[in-house]
Amino acid sequence: MSEVVSARAASASATREAIGRAARRLFNRQGYAATSVRQIAAEAGADPALVIRYFGSKERLFLETMPVEGRFDHVTHGPLEGLGRRLVTSLLTEAPELTFSIWRSMLRASDSDLVRERLVTAMEQMFIVPLAPRLVGPHAELRARLVAAQISGLLDAVAVLGDARITEASLDQLVVLYGDSIQTLVDPPIDPTLDEQN
């Protein structure tokens, strides 16, 4: 079924994929703004005009080459107890280079409304949607969104600001400290001023 239907089509999809690979590499290494369409084309051995013709614009090429599907379902669907710690572990352990460079690239390119919306829906799909209905106690959705905010903060510190003290800290310490802080929002709040009404 995936046979070569024609030499032309094969050539087309081959160069398209070459452009995509070059774009992914360069965007991750240099960021969105510092990477030019001409540079991508040169690295892929193609013409700059082809890049636009195949992907519509530099912006859409960027979106297409930045995968943001959820890879944290096994955590967000797991038991609520200790979820904070497992979330931090998963973030810092599973394909961290990819997670970090994508976060860095997309956050810096979030001038663009398309990029920003993609980032927002990615965070919602990955964390808020699976987490919010599971949280017990008042303000479940708000708390889930604040968990996502905390994750953003950790990613900022590591991937954008590059805080060496955090990067070089032991994984165990980060997991316990930041994980327990996240857990505060996962567990039902104890403050009596937070009524059960909305």
Partner DNA sequence: ACCTTTCGGTCAACAGTGTTGACACGCGGG
Partner DNA sequence: CCCGCGTGTCAACACTGTTGACCGAAAGGT
How many whole angstroms separate alpha carbon 186 and alpha carbon 37? 44
CB of 100 to DNA, least distance (A): 23
The only residue of 9, 10, 34, 95 in contact with its own copies, by rule CB under 8 A: 34
Distances (CA, A) of 190 to 31, 137, 181, 196: 43, 9, 15, 11
Q: What share of the chain is helix, strand, coil (3-state, %, to 5)?
A: 70, 0, 30
Which of the choices its own copies, DNA, none does residue 160 contact, using the CB cut-off of 5 to 8 A by kind? its own copies
- Own/partner pairs for 46-49, CB < 8 Å, 24+ apart? 46/15, 46/18, 46/19
Residues found near DNA in the complex (CB under 7 A)? 6-9, 11-12, 14-16, 35-39, 46-53, 57-59
22 Cα distance to chain centroid: 20
Subset of residues 121 to 140 that bind its own copies, contact rule: CB under 8 A = 123, 139
How many whole angstroms separate alpha carbon 16 and alpha carbon 33? 21
Q: Does 191 bind its own copies (CB under 8 A)?
A: yes
Subset of residues 143 to 162 that bind its own copies, contact rule: CB under 8 A = 143, 145-146, 148-154, 156-157, 160-162
CB of 11 to DNA, least distance (A): 4
CB of 17 to DNA, least distance (A): 11
Q: Which residues contact 123 (CB under 8 A, 6 or more apart)?
A: 148, 151, 152
Chain contacts with its own copies (rule: CB under 8 A) = 31-34, 107-111, 116, 119-120, 123, 139, 141-143, 145-146, 148-154, 156-157, 160-163, 165-166, 169, 172-174, 176-178, 180-182, 184-185, 189, 191, 193-194
